[in-house]
Amino acid sequence: MTIEFSADYVEEECWDAEAEPSPTLQLEQGLLEALGGAGNGVEFRSLNLSLLNVTVWPLNLYELPSSGLKGFWGSQVSAFKMTVKSALYMEGAYSQDPETKFWETSFRDHILPAFNPSKITNLHLENDLTGISPEFPDISFPSLRELTFVGFSVSRMPNISHDRSTLEVFLDRHASTLSKLALINCSFIVEDGERNGGWAGLWKTLGSTMLSLTEVSYGTEDEDDRYIYCDVGFGYMSYDDVDAEWYEEDNAALDALQLQLHERRYVLRINV
């Protein structure tokens, strides 16, 4: 089932919490509320659900009662895809922006927990603003086989007690099942001029820890966005001081990972 909302953001300024929702947003909310109760008493063996061009503001649009969400997709959805749209037409993002808050609050606290974790096999999340990293609670999907991130950022946060990104922590939980990973138009955050391993470090980690992984897809529309940083006066933007050695190390590590995955696929084929 695919539900595609309007691709145009038509609300008032996103920071104006008093603004009345537009007819477009009211329709979106009505459909989501209807979905919340649609599954009660209905049994599906599995359901592929895609919500496209979801509005990220106001946040309470997604903070429907948990029972309502679970009534529709909690026990039924096996593959979930969501793309979002925002009111921000600039390169940067700040921690207080509505889209950032959506991924850190509504998505984490209301959407993810609504699923039946044992059912999910495919998860596709798509963001449209630079500098945002998805926040995952301590949740695992024991049957997850395919994961796609589009437009997100990776940060290893060296000033925190661990040196792994939230993405790596999430991947670790699914090392025994995840076979396909796609990172499209994703960026790595540079902090204080340090990439903290960067993409090369991530590719090496995947090769050594994700032993069920057989396929990795990676690509960016603009190579300048491979690394980004936070400009205090503007938000997240392309990092222009990339050392040429970074790209060489990144490409070499990705090539080595792809060779390793090719060998895994070959072994799997001959053992069938």
Is 151 among the domain residues? yes
Is 34 among the domain residues? no
Per-residue pLDDT for 10 more than 70? no
Q: Which residue has the higher pLDDT, 221 or 14?
A: 221
| Residue 256 contacts residue 207 (beta carbons within 8 Å) | yes
* For range 191-217, the mean pLDDT: 89
Per-residue pLDDT for 44 more than 60? no
Q: Which residue has the tokens 């936070």?
A: 230
Range of the domain at 168: 40-123+132-270
Cis status, amide bond into 117, omega within 30 of 0 = no
The predicted structure's pLDDT at residue 250: 93
Is 167 among the domain residues? yes
* For range 152-158, the mean pLDDT: 70
Percent of the residues in the chain that have a pLDDT greater than 90, as a whole number? 22
Per-residue pLDDT for 90 more than 50? no
Is 11 among the domain residues? no
The predicted structure's pLDDT at residue 262: 92
Is 107 among the domain residues? yes
The predicted structure's pLDDT at residue 71: 55
Is 16 among the domain residues? no
Is 74 among the domain residues? yes
Residue 158: pLDDT band with limits 50, 70, 90? very low
Query: How many CB atoms lie under 10 A from the CB of residue 92?
Result: 17
Per-residue pLDDT for 29 more than 60? yes
In this predicted structure, which of 16-20, 135-139, 217-221, 262-266 has the lowest mean pLDDT?
16-20
In this predicted structure, which of 45-49, 87-91, 249-253 has the lowest mean pLDDT?
87-91
Count of domains observed in the chain: 1
The predicted structure's pLDDT at residue 121: 94
The predicted structure's pLDDT at residue 59: 56
Q: Which residue has the higher pLDDT, 149 or 75?
A: 149
The predicted structure's pLDDT at residue 159: 45
Task: Tell me the backbone φ, ψ of residue 86, rounded to 5 degrees.
Answer: -135, 175
Per-residue pLDDT for 178 more than 90? yes
Is 23 among the domain residues? no
In this predicted structure, which of 28-37, 82-91, 190-199, 205-214 has the lowest mean pLDDT?
82-91
* For range 139-163, the mean pLDDT: 77
Q: Which residue has the higher pLDDT, 127 or 86?
A: 127
Average pLDDT, rounded, for the chain: 78
* For range 29-54, the mean pLDDT: 69
